[in-house]
Copies of this chain bind each other. A is one copy, B any other.
């Protein structure tokens, strides 16, 4: 079976049966393919007699997006699997357990998280996740710090950079986030009523200069092993638990890209609150919850990151007075900029978000879209001037007040 081919359900069951720690007994296994079929096969394997279960995820050798199909390296399955293992080691309990990896078959067998909900869906349904800021700040602080030159052996770090070279997946980000939205590209997915807003962005030279700086950082700044796609669709939650999944975009890049991704997706949900037209107070409360979550994440992240640095800093040169403060300042600025770029592209780029696209009322959807574009472009333009997380929150608040 070891030569690559897309698995049948029978084969997925056969492989799942080898995971003794989940299925120590021989009762029947049942498979259900639950992937969206665009990038991966995802088999949910259960043992009805015991209630035990796991996930078999297999990469497909192509990507299908809006009907197009292009080849995509199967090496991404190795990268995803190695990133999951690394993240699980560095942030225990915050990534799914990996039971087995098979690089030849491009598959990872891992913990079943079907008792969790995808956070994007949870937020759309009005869910509240009181542990989320604590958990995600822990995840980003520990995975970023301990894979960076600040927190690990700097020669071993270079070997990690080598194993996480990820051209195919980085190309998707470079195109869809740092290029297409700023040109009249056929990859964009622009609703007719937003064309004027897109055209205004294409003509905005100040904005495009800042996008060039952000693109440069994404291309060259090998700070830490990133998740690379840390939106709310890559996070499973319950009120008590957070699990970060799907790190197939993992590579060595600028830390602010991961933090900015979390903030952008909370801001997209913030913008989507336009559809609650019936109850202004509830809408205001929901938005306050989202902004407070962003503030909490940054505040907790910064405190944890500084503590890790002070306790586990691997480099005495980086103890120079003022350096840590400068590092965190620049990281905040990167975070603000990347949050902006990740917000803009979700409104009229190739790939949108359900938070906004699922708003049934056309007027409310358009208001949400324009609000998100206003926040996103303001963050991009402000990024190198940001001095505090309050700058980001003020931009979000001011955009609503307009």
Q: Which residues of A contact B (CB under 8 A)?
A: 149, 154-156, 158-159, 161-162, 165-168, 170-171, 174, 178-179, 182-183, 205, 208-209, 211-213, 215-216, 219-223, 315-318, 320-323, 326-327
Contact = CB atoms under 8 A, between A and B. Distances in A.
A220 B218 CA distance: 12
Contacts of A183: 316
23 contacts: A149-B219, A155-B167, A155-B168, A155-B171, A158-B165, A158-B167, A159-B165, A159-B167, A161-B165, A162-B162, A179-B316, A179-B317, A182-B317, A208-B320, A209-B326, A212-B318, A212-B323, A213-B323, A213-B326, A215-B315, A215-B317, A221-B222, A222-B222
Given A149-B216, A322-B209, A162 B165 contact: yes
Contact of A320 (B168, B170, B209, B219): B209
Nearest to A254: B220
B320 A205 contact: yes
Contacts of A323: 209, 212-213
B159 A317 contact: no
A209 B322 CA distance: 7
B220 A178 contact: no
Contacts of A159: 165, 167
A385 to B, nearest CB: 15
B149 A321 contact: no
A211 B320 contact: yes
A292 B205 CA distance: 37
A170 B154 CA distance: 10
Q: Is the interface of A mostly helix, strand, loop or mixed?
A: helix
A213 B213 CA distance: 18
A20 B215 CA distance: 48
A159 B167 CA distance: 8
A210 to B, nearest CB: 9
Nearest to A224: B220
Contacts of A162: 162, 165
A73 to B, nearest CB: 10
Q: Which has the most chain B C-beta neighbours within 10 Å: A162, A209, A220, A318?
A: A220
A326 B209 CA distance: 10
Contacts of A166: 158
A166 B320 CA distance: 26
A321 B155 contact: no
A167 B318 CA distance: 19
Cβ-closest 8 pairs across A and B: A155-B167, A162-B165, A212-B320, A208-B320, A212-B323, A158-B167, A149-B219, A209-B320
A339 to B, nearest CB: 19
A323 B217 CA distance: 13
Contacts of A209: 320-323, 326
A63 to B, nearest CB: 15
Contacts of A158: 165-167, 170
A171 B159 CA distance: 13
A340 to B, nearest CB: 15
Given A149-B219, A208-B317, 16 more contacts: A149-B216, A155-B167, A155-B171, A156-B167, A158-B165, A158-B166, A158-B167, A158-B170, A159-B165, A182-B317, A183-B316, A205-B321, A209-B322, A212-B317, A212-B320, A221-B221
